[in-house]
A and B are shown apart, each in its own frame.
Chain A
Amino acid sequence: MFYKALWYQNYKQTRIIIWMILALFILHLPFQSILSLERWKEQEHQAQQVEDYTYEIQAWEVLEIFSQGTLPILLSLGIIALACLLIGLERNTRRNDFTFSLPFKRQDLFLAKWCYGTAAITLFHIVNFFVAYVIIYQSEYRFALELANWIEIFWGPLLGFIMFFTFTLLIGAISGEMISQVILTFLIGIFPLGIFFLMQELINVHFRIFISSPTWLEFLTPFMYVMNHPSLASTIVFPIILTGLFLWLGVHLYQKNKIEHNGEFLIFKVLNPIFLIIITICLSLLGGMIVSSLAPWNADLLRIISYWIGFTTFLLFSLLLTNRLLSMNITFRGKA
Chain B
Amino acid sequence: MKVNHISKFIHGQRILSDIDFHVKTGNIVGIIGRNGAGKTTLLRTMVGILDPSKGDITIDEQSIFLYPKLKEQVIFVPDSSEAMKNYSTKEMLTLYKSIYPQFDEHYFYDLMDRFSLKAINKIGNYSKGMKALFSLVVAFSTKAKYILLDEPTDGLDVIVKKQVLKILVEEVSTNDVAVIISSHRLDELEFMANDIIMIKDGKVDSHYELDEMKEMYKKVQIVFDGDGIIPEFLSKHVDILHQTGRVYTILMDKNNLEIQKKITEISPLLFEELALSLEDLFVAKLGGDEDVL
Contacts and interface: CB of A to CB of B under 8 A. Distances in A.
Interface of A: 3-5, 8-9, 12, 93-98, 100-106, 258-260, 332-336
A105 B69 CA distance: 8
Contacts of A260: 10, 50
A333 B49 CA distance: 16
Contacts of B84: 98
Contact of B50 (A104, A259, A335): A259
A95 B85 CA distance: 10
A335 B99 CA distance: 25
B50 to A, nearest CB: 6
Interface stretch (B75-83, B169-177, B195-203): B75-83
Contacts of B80: 94, 333-336
Contact of A94 (B71, B78, B132): B78
Q: Which of A96, A105, A332 counts the most chain B CB atoms within 10 A? A: A105
B108 interface: no
A335 B50 CA distance: 20
Given A97-B44, A100-B48, A258-B51, A334 B85 contact: yes
A226 to B, nearest CB: 30
B72 A97 contact: no
Given A8-B95, A100-B48, A336 B87 contact: no
Nearest to A106: B68
Interface residues of B, number: 36
Contact of A101 (B48, B85, B132, B154): B48
Contacts of A102: 68, 71, 99
Nearest to B132: A336
A333 to B, nearest CB: 7
B71 A101 contact: yes
Nearest to B100: A103
A103 B128 CA distance: 27
B131 A336 contact: yes
A5 B98 contact: yes
A105 B48 CA distance: 10
Contacts, number: 76
B253 interface: no
A297 B128 CA distance: 65
A96 B76 CA distance: 13
A103 B83 contact: no
B168 to A, nearest CB: 18
Nearest to B51: A258
Nearest to B81: A336
B49 A97 contact: yes
Contacts of A258: 50-51
Nearest to A264: B11
28 contacts: A3-B98, A5-B95, A8-B98, A9-B95, A12-B86, A12-B91, A93-B83, A94-B80, A94-B82, A94-B83, A96-B49, A97-B76, A97-B83, A101-B49, A103-B71, A103-B72, A103-B99, A103-B100, A104-B69, A106-B68, A258-B50, A258-B51, A260-B10, A334-B80, A335-B80, A336-B80, A336-B81, A336-B131
A332 B48 CA distance: 21
B70 interface: yes
Nearest 8 A-B pairs (CB), nearest first?
A103-B71, A334-B82, A5-B98, A94-B83, A98-B83, A95-B83, A103-B72, A100-B49
B189 interface: no
Interface in B1-41: 10
Interface string B42-72: 0010011111000000000000000011111
B94 interface: yes
Given A5-B98, A94-B78, A100-B49, 15 more contacts: A5-B99, A12-B87, A94-B80, A97-B49, A97-B78, A97-B83, A101-B47, A103-B69, A103-B74, A103-B100, A106-B68, A332-B82, A336-B79, A336-B80, A336-B82
